[in-house]
Amino acid sequence: MLNWKPEIHAVGVAEMDATHEEFVRELNDLAHAGDAQFPHLFQALLLHTRAHFENESRLMRDCRFPAIDEHESEHHRVLGELALVGRGVAAGRLGLARSYVALGMPDWFGKHLVTMDSALAARLKTQPAAAPAPRTPRESPDRAP
């Protein structure tokens, strides 16, 4: 079981921390869900994780994160795992999904947080000028190719 502890899990970038805290909450809800609620909550976790990763991709582009390819490739791998496990859930097989939620995902998240996500947070803190700026239609043509 994974419990959100800011002193351990926070990376110091507010929007990343808020997303990660929500991820841990959804993971815990799923771990405690009965069989009737499990499929719906698993789908919600999948959608939340997809949005989580898309947002990190945006942050990586905004700060020109050097390891963007490795980080996105890891996200892609995890989304593939979630989709695969989700197909089992949709077919009524919850056993693998329950162990993935209780062990696999918390283990992955703990490692990902202290490696790739921490590296991204460190980059965002040292590249404040490149931090996401409010977008307006006028800015779009100025983007470098």
108: which 2 tokens?
């992955």
The answer to whether 26 contacts Fe ion (rule: CB under 5 A) is: no
Angle between helices 105-112 and 14-31 (to 10 degrees): 170
**Residue 38 vs 65, nearer CB to Fe ion:** 65
Q: Which residue is nearest to Fe ion (CB)?
A: 117
Token pair 């859930």 is found at: 89
**Residue 30 vs 38, nearer CB to Fe ion:** 30
Tell me how far apart the alpha carbons of residues 60 and 85 are, in angstroms, rounded to a whole number. Answer: 28
Binding-site residue total for Fe ion (CB under 5 A)? 2
Task: Candidates 60, 117, 121, 124: give the one binding Fe ion (CB under 5 A).
Answer: 117
**Residue 38 vs 120, nearer CB to Fe ion:** 120
Tell me how far apart the alpha carbons of residues 54 and 71 are, in angstroms, rounded to a whole number. Answer: 11
C-alpha separations of 60 from 87, 99, 115, 133 in Å:
30, 31, 14, 13
- Using the rule CB under 5 A, give the single segment among 4-12, 26-34, 48-56, 136-144 that binds Fe ion: 48-56
Binding positions for Fe ion, 69-108, rule CB under 5 A: none
**Residue 26 vs 56, nearer CB to Fe ion:** 56
Token pair 């043509």 is found at: 141
Tell me, what amino acid is at 83? Answer: A
- Tell me which residues touch Fe ion (CB under 5 A): 56, 117
